[in-house]
Amino acid sequence: MKKLGLLVAGFIAAMILISNLGPLVGLGVSLLVLYFVVKQFLKTDSTAAKIGWGIAGFIILMATASNVPAILGIAAAYVLYLVYKNWDKKEVAVREENDPFVNFEKQWAQLNNK
């Protein structure tokens, strides 16, 4: 039953990730360009160049903000990672109280301590 839930969650996350591939690529490119614009802005000493880089940075920042749905894609990728990580995880239910060997070891340790 757990595998069915993981399969459904993985399928939904994969569909969300595929539908947000465009915004993910746009977000990545715009963040890369914004990084270089900020780097150039910090390098320049000229006031006119700073104004130009500031305007360019603002335009790129607006392009980056338009790709906010990519955050859903990032969350879907994380859910897919969790599904992959938990797919082969076994549920181990060990009952130490009813195991005669564990009780024997406890009693043996109590006898040796006295």
25-79 pLDDT, tens digit per residue, is 999 999 999 999 999 999 999 999 999 999 999 999 998 888 888 888 899 999 9
Judge if 34 and 64 occupy the same domain.
yes
How does the average pLDDT of the chain come out, rounded?
Answer: 85
* pLDDT (0 to 100) of residue 100: 65
Structural domains counted in the chain: 2
* Residue with more model confidence, 1 or 53: 53
Same domain, 40 and 16: no
- Dihedral sign of CA atoms 58, 64, 67, 70 in order: negative
pLDDT of residue 47: 93
C-alpha dihedral over 59, 65, 69, 70, to 10 degrees?
80
Q: Are residues 40 and 64 in the same domain?
A: yes
pTM: 0.63
Whether 9 contacts 75, CB under 8 Å: no
Whether 4 and 39 share a structural domain: no
Domain that holds residue 80: 1-20+71-114
What is the enclosing helix (H) or strand (E) of 61?
A: helix 47-65
